[in-house]
Structure 1
Amino acid sequence: MMAKAKRKTLPKDFEDQLAAGDLEALKRVFDLCELDARGGVFKQTALAYSACPDALARWLVEQGADLAAPDSRGDTPLHSRSGDWRGGVELLIELGADVNHDAGGRGTPLHRAAAAGHVGTVQILLAHAADPDAVDRSGKTPLLVALQNCSNATIERVAAIAELLLGATAGRAEKPRPFLGRLLGKGGKQISAVTPEMQALVQRIGTNFEFHRANFDPDSVEAASHALDGLYALFDVAPVARRTMHDGRAPIVAGAAGWQAQHQELWKLLVPSSGAAATVQGEVIRISGRISDELERNGGVNWDADYKKMADAFLGHVGPAQALPANELAKTRALVAELKARRGNAAELCKLAVAWVVLNPHPIPSPAPDYRR
């Protein structure tokens, strides 16, 4: 009688069993399951779980488990652990996992660790000969994906990763170049690992941080700011100027040429990084920008009752004080009605907002809104 074939899938409660940590019970799972049985959202093997005990991982490899078994995305266990905050990559490397496996073009484990902002894992992978210059099928290096995935909350980690990756790249050159807070090549020029695309990303990171600086966590803003300065130095990027918000008292003036540039200028001056503006002028600019962005860029996917309330509030704001000329006000009423039905030219609302602010330079305190966006 033929032996019953083993299961290709792990038990549904496998993660609970890993958490329990009973090694013998975990080994018994594989009396019924193949060594490379899959589980979880991405159909990964037991070796891919960061919670997999070292003793179980060693035992599985000794029994013949595949260290390069891909999950449904093509990632190996080392890729999965590199992208997990819990890490656990050292043992897999010790057992023979390929640190430069490219997952069919999706990138190496170093790409995963860099994208996720895991500084310690990046250090470990580099220490075990991970290639800092490896590219995925899109031609992206680990450094590029780290910068692309950087948010305000991860600036400190990305700055540390950038320093590690640039240092590793410099160390691979035929003639090692000095690393003194900034990497320079012969004649004081940056090493080739730094590209204009990376410099643009650093500038974007700085712009986003400065926009949100005023509302940033006060306990970590200085550390993030210091790390951002480090990124500027590493990539030879001029620091983004700190954002200066309107003081709520002085006349509001837009000096840029053209209403589009004036709208951007007024946005930076009056619109907070979250929540409603303190002045009616700022709220008029904010509402027009939010509605335009939702309808023109996002296709109205998130359009709801709050957006309609914002459109009504806009109409209410531009009527009092120095109202728009009668023909412009009539145009605004018709436009708001169209936009509420997700029709019409949303950019025109931004143009009308600028026109109203120009007519009303003296700050008007904004009432509490009845919408949450």
Structure 2
Amino acid sequence: MKMPKTKKKLLPKDFDLLLKAGDITALKAVFDTCDLDARGGYGKHTALAFSDCPDELARWLVGQGADLEARDAYGRTPLHYHASSWQGRIEILIDLGADIQATDHDADTPLHKATKSANAEAVRALLGGGARADAHNASNLTPLAAGLQHCSNVQIEPMAGIAELLLAAEVPRDKGLGDLFKRAFSGGRRVQAPITPQMQGFVRRIGETFEFHRAGFNPEYLEATSAALGRLYALFDVPPVPGRVMHDGRAPIIVRSARWQDQHKELWALLVPSKGPASTVQGELIRIAGRIADEVGGNGGVNWDADYGKMTRAFLAHISSGAPLPAAELNRAARVVADVRGLEGAGGELCELAVQWVKINPTPVPLSPPSYSR
């Protein structure tokens, strides 16, 4: 007796292209040779998790027995994927019975994923399907808190709308959230989600980041984004972050903080532009040190390239110019630069040395065009 042929566990490499073509007959034919839960994509997810998966194919797959809760390598279900994607199809998965409170390896629900992506339509659909706004992930963050924590400048406008949706979402009365509850809705049937000091801190961070980059922000979206930021301040009762005042390029550069770590932050805010090189040697020295510290300390040096090498050489040249650092500190800088990617705390040492040089060279020095583009 002939044994049935085992079906493939991996989707075709061109499955993305097949989805974009939208030929349902051709897509169904894939599963003549592939398992209904065959995997593909970087997370090894099933066909149901692809954002381009047509509704008709999704219904057919589930009808044939595909697992609607199939997990990828990170514990995410198809609904997690669609909640994260602006092209995601939330409604069809909910209609098919997807678990709206499923959690991944980080204990994120689909609603957490939607807020982190600032996907307002997905948030609205998930709330309409019964998603809980008070669910906590492994970092003890609700979807709203997680969204605020991850909010970038370009996400401020949708995040303001998302915050309004989530603050108005119904939450159980027995959660012991005490004085942090806002006013009850009419009739006492619903209570607004709580605003926490942590959320307020996230909103302040959003404001600080935006104000740092305001001058270089796309003017086409500046007014709407600024207005949305004002809505976030009002929603979370956070005083507006003052606008950034940069150094005029002429007056002596003075630091007021006591610790070099705080002095570096102060000088960064004063001298480093939103993007591109600084206009002064002082500002560029602070920028180079900060960029290198972020790359080697935060990214493990994965983006290190020839430009970073040029930046380290420029750093050594700058601290040797004007009133140079003492010989011992110049030697220290050379040692740090020589092993900058392998020496623990190397970025911090460069920041400290940069601050030292600026303090003994307070008169702004115009920067010549640098040889690097980072």
The SS at the match of 1:37 is: strand
The within-5 A match list for 1:292-307 is: 292-294=293-295, 305-307=306-308
In structure 1, the partner of 2:335 is 338
Stretches of structure 2 that go unaligned for 5 or more consecutive residues are 175-180, 185-190
The within-5 A match list for 1:145-156 is: 145-156=146-157
Deviation at 1:260, TM superposition (A): 4.0
Q: Is the 8 A contact 1:48 1:80 kept in 2?
A: yes
Cα distance, 1:250–1:16 mapped onto 2, change above 3 Å: same
TM-score, normalisation: structure 1? 0.83
Stretches of structure 1 that go unaligned for 5 or more consecutive residues are 175-182
After superposition, the C-alpha distances for 1:126-172 in whole angstroms (9 at most, x for unaligned) are 111111112234432111221222111211122221111111146x6
Deviation at 1:204, TM superposition (A): 1.5
The within-5 A match list for 1:1-373 is: 1-7=1-7, 8-103=9-104, 106-169=107-170, 184-185=182-183, 193-294=194-295, 305-321=306-322, 323-324=323-324, 328-342=325-339, 347=348, 349-373=350-374
After superposition, the C-alpha distances for 1:284-336 in whole angstroms (9 at most, x for unaligned) are 33334444555566666655554454344344445554x24xxx432343123
Cα distance, 1:314–1:82 mapped onto 2, change above 3 Å: closer
Q: Is the 8 A contact 1:36 1:69 kept in 2?
A: yes
Count of aligned positions: 357
Bigger shift: 223-232 or 337-346?
337-346
Cα distance, 1:252–1:123 mapped onto 2, change above 3 Å: same
For residues 340 and 17 of structure 1, the distance between their equivalents in structure 2, rounded to whole angstroms, comes to 49
Root-mean-square deviation (CA), in Å?
Answer: 2.9
For residues 6 and 301 of structure 2, the distance between their equivalents in structure 1, rounded to whole angstroms, comes to 50
The SS at the match of 2:202 is: helix
Q: Is the 8 A contact 1:335 1:349 kept in 2?
A: no
Cα distance, 1:29–1:349 mapped onto 2, change above 3 Å: closer
After superposition, the C-alpha distances for 1:32-54 in whole angstroms (9 at most, x for unaligned) are 33333333333323222232222
TM-score, normalisation: structure 2? 0.83
Bigger shift: 138-147 or 63-72?
63-72
Letter of the 1:96 partner, please give it. G
Cα distance, 1:307–1:331 mapped onto 2, change above 3 Å: farther
Deviation at 1:227, TM superposition (A): 1.4
Bigger shift: 237-246 or 254-263?
254-263
Q: Bigger radius of gyration, 1 or 2?
A: 1
Cα distance, 1:105–1:214 mapped onto 2, change above 3 Å: closer
Deviation at 1:273, TM superposition (A): 2.3
